[in-house]
Amino acid sequence: MGKETLARRSANQVVVGMGDLAVTDRTGDVLVTYALGSCIALCLYDPVRKAAGMIHYMLPLSKASPEKAKTRPAMFGDTGIPLLFKKMFHLGCRKEDLVVKAVGGGNIKDEKGIFNIGKRNITVLRKILWKNEILLAAEDVGGRKSRTVRLFVEDGLTLVSSQGEEVEL
């Protein structure tokens, strides 16, 4: 991997668990989340403030379990995504500086479209971003695969690995 420097390998991993989110402005940190399946990792990077944020949400809408949404808002797209932006703003980031990328939303084979959690996760993301006039800089979504994402605070490098291959997003 050309982008793999010694500094990167020794970066301090901050694991974002399933249904969780994290923000950081420590230059040596790398945010990482595993096994996305149909879940989505939304990655925010602020090159000006040198800060990064990531959410790994599992389900599109909090109405699936309003009680859980109160204690675990990052489990759901509609409650977690706004919270991630809010946390970035608390770090001093400005909306116009944020580079936004989305990864995940895979699906099993489903010809009749009856089992579409991945698609619904993507739809809720697009709706929220559209309403707030935020553009996606890059995305790697859909398909029949699961993914792992790494986001480096140092320069915003975003690496997506799946089925033994790693690519830069």
Partner 1 sequence: MISQEEILSSVDHLPGLGSSFARISELGRDESSELEDYARVVESDPALAGNLLRLANSAEFGLARQVDSAAQAVAVLGTRRVLSVALATALRGVIPGELAGYGIDARDFWRHCIAVGVLAQELGQEAGLGMEEECFLAGLLHDIGKLVTSTYLAREAPALLKGLRREQLALVEAERAVLGVDHTEVGSAVAERWDLPPGIGFVARWHHHPGSREGEDGGDEILRAVTEAVHVADCLAHALGYGTDIGELSREIDAASMERLGASPPLLERIAGRSIPEIEERTRLLEEGK
Give the helix/strand (H/E) hosting 64: none
Active site residue 39: yes
Subset of residues 62 to 81 that bind partner 1, contact rule: CB under 8 A? 64-65, 68, 72, 75-76
Subset of residues 87 to 106 that bind partner 1, contact rule: CB under 8 A? 106
- For the chain, the maximum distance between any two Cα atoms, rounded to a whole number of angstroms, is 48
Residue from 18, 83, 91, 157 touching partner 1 (CB under 8 A): that is: 18
Site string for partner 1, 22-51 (x = CB under 8 A): ------------xxxxxx------------
* Interaction between residue 114 and partner 1 (CB under 8 A): yes
Give the helix/strand (H/E) hosting 77: helix 77-90
* Interaction between residue 120 and partner 1 (CB under 8 A): yes
Residue 27 near residue 7, CB atoms below 8 Å = no
In angstroms, the Cα distances linking 115 to 107, 112, 127, 144 are: 8, 8, 20, 13
